[in-house]
Structure 1
Amino acid sequence: MLDDVRALLPAIRARAEQSERDRSIPRESAQEFLDIGLARVLLPRRYGGTELGLQAWVDLCIEIGKADAAHAWCASLMMHHPHYLAQFPDSAQADVWGDGPDVSIALTFTPTSKVEFVEGGYRLSCAIPYLSGINHSTRVVIGGMVPTDRGPPDWTLFLIPGQDFTVKDTWQTVGMRGTGSNTVVVEDVFVPFEHTLRVDDMRESTTPGTKLNKAGMFRAPWIYYAGLTFVAPMLGAARGALEDYRAWTAERVSLFGSQVAQYTSIQVHLARAAANLDAAELLMQRCVQDAERPDATRHDLRTRAYRDQSRASELIVEAIDMIMKISGAAGFASTSSIQRAWRDVHFAASHVGLNPEVSFAAWGRQQFGLERDPKQGMF
C-alpha cells in the first residue's frame, strides 16, 4: 500500500496548487485513492476490507502529507471514516458496503442537528459546516443530540445516504483550502434507529460493531485515535517541508557567496525541527499501541492519549515555524511548498479536538484524582 501511495505522490504534488484554487482536491485524486484501496485500510474484512490497522493508517497519511496536506487530510478521512461506520449496527454497514467497499464517507461529530423522534427512528434537519471531503463522498454521518428521559441528551451519530443531503459551497479559508470542507444540508430526513450510533458507546468501546468485528482496532476507545485523524496529515506536511527545505538549502548560496548549509544556526534549527517531528511521531505511536491494550479503557491511559495528541500537534507547529523562520523571505513565495505546509499545519492545529487547554486539563484532573469534567465527551 505504501508503494502504491508513493507512486501517486508526483501527481498529488502537481495538483496541490490546483486544489488550493478549487478549494477541493481533484476528483481524479479521490478516485485514485479509492482505486488503490485506501477506503479498505480500516474496513472490516467481512465487507472486503483489509484491516491493515491504525499504524498503517497513520503511516499512509504521513506519506501523502509529504506531498500535500489537504490530500493527506482527505485521505486520512477516507481511511478512517469506515472505522467509525464499522462500529454502527450491522444493517448500516450492509447498507453502505453491500455493493462493495470502495465508498467515501464524510463525517462530522458536531451535534447541531435538529432531532425529532418518529416511529422506527428519527427525523433530522440541519446545515452543518466543515465536512471535509464531502465533494467526493456518497454518504455522510452527522451528529445530533437525542433527548432522553434519564437526564442529559445522548450525543448520537446518524448515517445519511447521498440522495438525502445537499452540499452548500461555503469553504473559504487560508489554510487546508483543498479539503473542500463545505456545508451539508439535510432537510427533514428519516433515519432508522439501526443507522445510528451513540458517542458514549464509542468512548467506552461498547458499540454494536465491537461485537461484530473482532480486530482490536474496532474495540479501541474513541480517544486513542480521534486526534490522530488530524495530527498525521500535519506531521506528513511538516516532514515534506523539512525535506524540501533540506534539498533547497543544500544548493543555496547567500548574498555574500557562502554556502547557507555551512551556517551552524541553520544546522541547529534543522536538527531541532527534525527532533520535534520525531518526538511527535513517537507520541502518536504510543497512542496507537495503547489503543489495543487489554486495559485500554483505563482513564489514566485515555487522558494520556488525549494529552499526547495535542502535544504532538504543538511539536509539529513548533517544527514548521522553525523551518519557515530559516527559509527567510523566499519561503513566503506563493509558489513555495513550505509556506503552504506552514499555513496548513497551523490551520489543522486549530481543530477543536487538539486544543491543549482542554486535553492537558483533562490529564491534570485525572492526576489529582478529580472527577471527569462532565462537559468532556471525548474520553
Structure 2
Amino acid sequence: MTVTYSEEFRGERVQSRTLITASRNLIPALREREEEAERHRRLPEATSLDLRRTGVARLLQPESFGGAEASLEHLVDVLVPIASGCPSTAWCLAQYLFHNYMIAHWPVEAQREVWSDPTHLVSGILVPRLGTARQVDGGYELSGQWPFVSGVQASDWCILAGMVEQDAAPDEERYFLVPTASLTILDTWNPIGLHGSGSHDVAVDRIFVPEYLTLSIWHMKGGDFPGKVLNRGALFRPPLLMVSGILPAACLIGMTEGMFEQFLLQSRGRKALRTSEDTVNYPTHQMRVGEVSASLQAAEMLIRADCREIMEFAAADSTYSPMERSNYRSNSAYAGQLARQAAEIVWDLIGARGAYATNCIARYYRDIAVASRHTAINWEVNATEHGRARLRLPLTNPSL
C-alpha cells in the first residue's frame, strides 16, 4: 500500500518492532518507579518522558502521521510485558494507545492539530451521559464532569464524551477533543489499586469545541469516517468499541503474570510455618501453580486469536455481524476473567505473607482488583450481550 503522509508531517515513521523492543527495555526502570507512582498517585515525570521518547504510544497511530499503524496483536506484545512490570504505566499507556487509534477517525484537520507534535499523549473518558453539549455557531458548547480519566495529568489532549441536545430528534452521542490545559483536573483519585494511573475526575464548563474536533459515535461503528480520506488501512476498519476490551484484558493478563512471577520467586525455599516442609513439594500447591499457568496462556491465546481474526476480516473489508461484534467483546471480558481468577489463586497460595503492604504481590492484587472492574471487560454485561446475539435477539449496547 502506498502511504500518503499528511502535508504537515516532517518526521520519520516509527516501526512496530522497534516500539515493542523499546517498551520491553523500559520494564526495569518502570519497576523502580512503582513506589513513586503509588505515592504521588500519577505517572512519574520520568515515565511519561520515556513514553514520549520511545514513541510506544504511537503503535496504532496512522502511518500518515509517522505512526507504526501496527496490527492489533502488537497491542498484546506491548501491554502484557509492561503490565507485568508496572500495572499503572500499562493502564495509562492502554488509554494513550486506544485514543490515538480513535483520533485516526477524526477529520484530518483535527489529526493535524493533535499530531502537530506526533509524540502527544491523549487521555480520555468515553462515558457520554456525564457530559452535555449544545450546537452553537462553528461547533459545540460542552459541560460536564467525568471520572476515571487515567493518565490525564501527563496528557496533552483529552477525549470527552457527551450527549448533544437536539429538539427534533433523540440526543446524539458525540466525542470531543479538548486540550488538557483547558480542563479542570479534580483531585479525586484515592483508590485501593492502580494508584499511579492518576485516574482523576475532570470537568469543563461551557467550553467551546470546534466542529472539526468532534466526532459522532456513528463513525466509530465501522464503515465510513471522516479520517478515511487519509487513513484507509485495514487497522482502521473495525468498529472501535468492538475491539476496546482487548487493551484492558491484555493489561490484566500482564498484571497477573507479574504477580505470578513474584510468587514463584518468593516460593523458593519457602517453608510451612508449622511443619517446616518446603511448600513447593505439596501436590495441591503444584496443581494450582499449573492451573494459573494454563489460565494465563489460555487468556492470552484467546485475545491474540481474536486480534488476528479481526484484522483478517478488516483486510477483506468484511462487515462484522452483531454476533461477531458481541463475541469479540465477550472474549476480551472472558480473558480478563481468566486472569482475575488466576490472580485469586496466587493470592490464596501466598497465604498470610500477602497481608504485608510492603509485599509487591499485595500491590499487584490491589491493582488487579481495580483494573478488572473496567466496563469494557465487565463479564456479566458482555457475556449477556453475546448471549442475546446467540439467541438471535437484538443487541442493546449502543456502542456495538
CA positional deviation for 1:52: 2.2
Match of 2:6 in 1: none
Deviation at 1:231, TM superposition (A): 1.4
Name the structure 2 match of 1:105.
122
Which aligned pairs between 1:55-204 and structure 2 lie closer than 5 A? 55-98=73-116, 100-111=117-128, 112-148=130-166, 151-204=169-222
Query: Deviations for 1:201-230, whole angstroms, at most 9, x for unmatched residues?
Result: 212343222342122111111233211221
- The question of whether the paired residues in 1 share the 8 Å contact of 2:164 and 2:171 is answered with yes
From the superposition, tell whether residues 213 and 283 of structure 1 become closer, same or farther in structure 2 (CA, over 3 Å).
Answer: same
Matched positions, count: 376
- The CA deviation at 1:164 is 2.0
Matches within 5 A, 1:264-279: 264-279=283-298
Quote the residue 1:336 is aligned against.
359
| Unaligned 5+ runs, structure 2 | 1-18
Between the aligned partners of 1:4 and 1:37, the Cα distance in structure 2 is 9
Letter in 1 for 2:329: Y
1:313 paired with 2:336, answer yes
Distance 1:108 1:20, change over 3 A: same
Rounded to whole Å, the distance in 1 between the matches of 2:159 and 2:20 is: 28
Equivalent residue for 1:300?
323
Instruction: Identify the match of residue 391 of structure 2 among 357, 368, 375.
Output: 368
Please tell me whether residue 260 in structure 1 is matched to residue 279 in structure 2. yes
C-alpha displacement at 1:261, in angstroms? 1.4
Aligned-partner SS, 1:257: coil
Percent identity between matched residues is 30
Identify which of 250, 256, 259 aligns with 1:238.
256
**Following TM superposition, by how much is the alpha carbon of 1:143 offset from its aligned partner in structure 2, in angstroms?**
0.2
Amino acid at match of 1:76: A
1:140 Cα deviation from its structure 2 partner = 0.8
SS in 2 for 1:107: strand
- Pick which of 1-10 and 337-346 moved more: 1-10
Q: Distance in 2 between matches of 1:235 and 1:131?
A: 22
Alignment partners' CA distance in 1, 2:299 and 2:355: 25
CA distance in 2, matches of 1:107, 1:261: 45
Once the two structures are TM-superposed, the CA of residue 258 in structure 1 deviates from its matched residue by 2.2
Shift of 1:149: 5.7
Letter in 2 for 1:32: D
Per-residue deviation, 1:286: 2.6
Instruction: Give the Å deviation of 1:353.
Output: 2.0
Q: d(CA) in 2 for partners of 1:262 and 1:177?
A: 36
In 1, Cα distance between the equivalents of 2:370 and 2:155? 23
Shift of 1:43: 0.6
Letter in 2 for 1:238: T
How does the TM-score come out when normalised to structure 1? Answer: 0.95
RMSD: 1.6
2:305 alignment counterpart? 286
1:287-322 CA-to-partner distances (Å, cap 9, x unmatched) read 212322133522111111111111111111100000
CA change 1:273–1:136 in 2 (3 A) is same
Aligned to 1:214: 232
Per the normalisation by structure 2, the TM-score is: 0.90
Letter in 2 for 1:106: S
| Contact 2:83–2:255 (CA under 8 A) maintained in structure 1 | yes
